Amino acid sequence: EDQWSPMNPEGKKQYNRDFLLQFQQDCKDKPEGLPHIPDIVLDKADIRPPSF
Amino acid sequence: TETQSQAVLSPEEVIKHPLQNKWALWFFKNDKAKSWADNLRIITAFDTVEGFWALFNHIQSASKLQSGCDYSLFKDGIKPMWEDGKNKPGGRWLVNLGRTKPQDVDRFWLESLLFLIGESCDDEGELVNGGVINVRGKGNKIAIWTGNYKKEEGILKIGKGFKEVLHLPAKTLISYEAHADTMSKTGSMAKSRYSV
């Protein structure tokens, strides 16, 4: 339906879980400025797709 | 550094997908030596799909947290406590997970996060405030927090949507408690306002 995309910037920012899951693998860079909370905030990406 | 190959990426890869709302992830660790408020820490906020995954891929999975810890994901500006002005008039849809297997706990929590950031309850989105997972030895709990519990139609839609993404069997009822009731409850169980 009328979903947001680079070519449809006015589209609805509503995404279902299958659409969202496509991007999990690519996001390996650690976000800036995370607090130092040992054993909670990880240094290396730990990509864990949901087990169906 | 921007490499030459950057230029050939399709728009899809370069442009991040904006979320309808900005969300903040909080972490709570039950350290008796500190006050409740000091035990609550904001990890970070994000407003794109890619921002969510970069964060999610860099935090410990819920099932590995110590008993007494919580993760909370709330719209930016709303604190994960019933005292917050946006939470006070509302309540929560509560799912008692009991002692489910770790990968199920993680799956339930991830489905809840995607339910929130994906705005699955499109027209009820306004009512959704956030979600919490309480990791407890005696049984984990996941809840979706909403505003104004009197908006029955919207609250019921959110409950049904939440139950659907968790693939809970129809006969498994989940109940909605208004914070006002939970605060003034006498017994352990606050009376539930709705159930689906």
Note the ipTM here. 0.94
Closest residue to A50, CB basis, from B12, B107, B120: B107
- Both tokens assigned to B154: 């919207």
Beta-carbon separation of A40 and B115 below 8 A = no
- Convert the pLDDT of each residue in A8-44 to its tens digit: 988 999 999 999 999 999 999 999 999 999 989 999 9
Please answer yes or no on whether A31 and B54 come within 8 Å at the CB atom. yes
In chain A, residues with a C-beta closer than 8 Å to the C-beta of B13 are 26
CA-based R_g, chain A, Å: 15
In angstroms, the separation between the Cα of residue A1 and the nearest Cα of chain B is 13
What are the per-10-residue average pLDDT scores of chain B (196 residues)?
56 82 97 90 97 98 96 98 96 92 94 97 90 95 97 96 94 94 72 92
Nearest to B22 by CA among B91, B59, B73, B69: B73
